[in-house]
Structure 1
Amino acid sequence: MDWDRIRIFLEVARSGQILGAAKRLKVNHATVARQLTALEEDLNTKLVTRTTTGSSLTPAGLALLGAAERAESEFLRVGAAFVEASDRLDGTVRVGAPDGLGNYFLVDKLAAFAADNPGLKIQLAPLPRTFSLAKREADIVVMLDRPEEGKLICTKLTDYTLGLYGADGYIKKASPLTHPEHLSDHLLITYIDDIAYSPALDYASGFEMHTKRRFECGSVMGQVEAVRAGHGVGILHDYAAARYPELRRLLPDHSFTRSYWLVSHPDTHETPRVKAVHRHLVTSIRRARKYFLVR
């Protein structure tokens, strides 16, 4: 079997669509479709059921997927062994992370690491969503919950705290807020429950009985900016709020503690570039642990 065709099949299987695979491989979608058809003809079997909304694997496709992933893993391990002796880091490492940590901490640390290693291309995806390591959506992922399934390498990075904040200008003109019951006089800025991708994002439920008005935003940065603009109060990451001197922590007895987990796939974890970025992330966050926690 032609490995180039197998590689294309893997991307189609992981993305669930020919167009998505083409974007990942940076080739024309017609090329992907043609190579996939050629692979099916080589094997004399149908691997993928194609529809207008995407692609799904047939039983034969599922069988090939397992074998192809094992072969890919071996290629990655051998490749890592070839470059182990070199001090130079080369290639691309994609890091998926929650948008709060990504935008308010990782962007600085990873950009600095990329500047120090010119052969390395680091891609940071700070998005309010989950990433699949099995589908190669990222090489390293920061998660809010420790994965319960799959053979993954998990490292706890740090606990972090959140609290209720308001901007100086807003606090001066708004009704006093010294008890949760006073929230009924304020707009609460928080997440959109329907699109929250982790139970760890449920901060506002403890205040729900006291709130009458809400502004819901799906990004941490959006929530921070809404609070800074003086539109209401919001539950913000303490390490993010510390950047803005105009923000004041309210209801100090009401705090929320969550955790960050660093997760990588055993097939790629030992490659020098992934291992180096993984080590840099662990070191950077653990050194800054005191900034993530407000007691």
Structure 2
Amino acid sequence: MNWDDLKVFLAVARAESLSGAGRGLKVDPATVGRRIGRLEEELGAPLFAKSPQGYALTDAGQRLMGHAERAEQAMGAAVEELAGQAGALSGQIRIGAPDGCANYLLPQVCARIVQDNPDLEVQIVALPRVFNLSKREADMAIGVSPPNAGRLTVQKITDYKLHLAAHRDYLAQHPPIQSIDDLLGHPMIGYIPDMIFDKELDYLSESGVSRVSLASNSVSVQFNWVRQGSGIGIVHDFAIPSTTGLQKLLEDRISLTRSFYLIRHADDRRLDRMNRFAQSLAEGLRAEVARLEALC
């Protein structure tokens, strides 16, 4: 058994398809299938069961998975050691994040890290859902609540604030908002209720709002509605400086605090490169949240 075969095995296990694994490995699916067949023949056991849903690990595949992941970690550690740990960061690191963080914080934070490490390639995957790190959808993820399952490590990065807000042009054309009851006559902007993927994102129900006139699963879409004067919504304080004309409302009545968490594979704690990047990322996010919130 060689490391190249194990890499193919891991790719299929995580993608749950030959085509998905092939895209990641940059080889055609037929080649992936032949490599898996060769590995199964060598081990004398089927590693995957094919179904309409894709390739699922058999019992033998499940047992091999742990060994393959440990081999992957060992190879990564060896590469780091041979490359030297004290130099600049290099290679590719993919971060998964909810789109609020991905749009208004990560671009400038990651750009500064790459500026200091020119051989580093950072990829930001902005999706309004929880990332599956066990399938290597990302090397690390930003979450709004700590996970309670899986072989993961969790580090709290920072708290952040959210407030009710509207554009000044909208407010000039509508009756003043002096109490929560005054919100009843206004179009409210928020999440699609059945697409809220984390209870920490259920902002409006916590604020006593029961009906949403304009809804999206994307924070950026919600923010753009508020920015263009379509109604009233809960916005991140750190997003407000990215535009002009927004005004916070009922600050003494509705003020929410949430937190960002850095979520990583437990085994990646052994990798100096990942530790150094994680430290730079967390420090950068803390500083950027503080800077932007001071401006709004």
Asked if TM exceeds 0.5, the reply is yes
CA shift for structure 1 position 213: 4.7
Instruction: Check conservation: 2:105, 2:288, Cα contact below 8 A.
Output: no
Unaligned runs of 5+ in 2: none
8 Å contact kept, 1:120–1:273: no
1:123 aligns with 2:139: no
> Which residue of structure 2 lines up, in the alignment, with residue 236 of structure 1?
235
Give the counterpart letter for 2:287 in structure 1: R
- How far is the alpha carbon of 1:162 from its aligned partner? 0.6
Per the TM alignment, residue 107 of structure 1 is displaced from its structure 2 partner at its CA by 0.5
Which TM-score applies when normalising by structure 2? 0.92
**What's the counterpart of residue 72 of structure 1?**
72
| TM-score normalised by the chain length of structure 1 | 0.92
TM-superposition CA deviations, 1:81-110 (whole Å, max 9, x none)? 222345132211111111111110111110
After superposing the two structures, state which structure 1 stretch, 148-157 or 248-257, moved more: 148-157
Deviations 1:54-104 (A, max 9, x none): 111111111111221122222222222222345132211111111111110
Greater shift, 186-195 or 267-276, is seen at 267-276
- Name whichever of 113-122 and 285-294 sits farther off: 285-294
Quote the Cα distance in structure 1 between the aligned partners of 2:246 and 2:90. Answer: 41
Counting aligned pairs with the same residue, the percent is: 36
| Root mean square deviation of aligned Cα | 2.0
Mapped contact 1:161–1:292 kept (Cα < 8 A): no
8 Å CA contact 2:92–2:123 kept in 1: the answer is yes
Q: Please state how far the C-alpha of 1:135 moved relative to its aligned partner.
A: 1.9
Using the alignment, how far apart are the partners of 2:114 and 2:17 within structure 1? 32
Distance in 2 of aligned mates of 1:68 and 1:121: 25
* Segment of structure 1 superposing worse, 148-157 or 259-268: 148-157
Matched position secondary structure for 1:134: helix
CA contact (8 A) 2:105 2:289 kept: no
Matches within 5 A, 1:168-183: 168-183=168-183
The answer for the alignment partner of 1:107 in structure 2 is 107
The CA distance in 1 between the partners of 2:151 and 2:54, in whole Å, is: 28
Cα distance in 1 for partners of 2:211, 2:147 equals 35
SS in 2 for 1:239: helix
Query: Is the CA contact 1:188–1:211 (under 8 Å) kept in the aligned structure 2?
Result: no
Query: 1:95 and 1:173, CA in 2 relative to 1: closer, same or farther beyond 3 A?
Result: same
Which runs of structure 2 are paired with 1:1-295 in the superposition (5 Å)?
1-208=1-208, 210-252=209-251, 253-291=253-291
- 1:216 Cα shift? 0.8
Cα offset for 1:293?
A: 5.3
Q: Which amino acid aligns with 1:220?
A: V
SS in 2 for 1:163: strand
Q: Match of 2:129, SS?
A: coil
Instruction: Evaluate the alpha carbon distance shift between residue 130 and residue 212 of structure 1 in structure 2; reply closer, same or farther with a 3 A threshold.
Output: closer
SS in 2 for 1:175: coil
Q: Contact conserved, 2:191 with 2:217, CA < 8 A, in 1?
A: yes
CA distance in 2, matches of 1:18, 1:85: 35
Q: CA deviation at 1:123?
A: 0.9
Q: CA deviation at 1:121?
A: 0.9
Gaps of 5+ in 1: none
Aligned residue pairs total 294
| Higher mean C-alpha deviation, range 95-104 or range 144-153 | 144-153
Contact 1:76 1:268 in 2 (8 A): no
For residues 267 and 159 of structure 1, do their structure 2 counterparts lie closer, same or farther at Cα, with a shift above 3 Å needed? same
1:13-51 Cα shifts (integer Å, max 9, x gaps) = 112222221122122122111211121122221111112
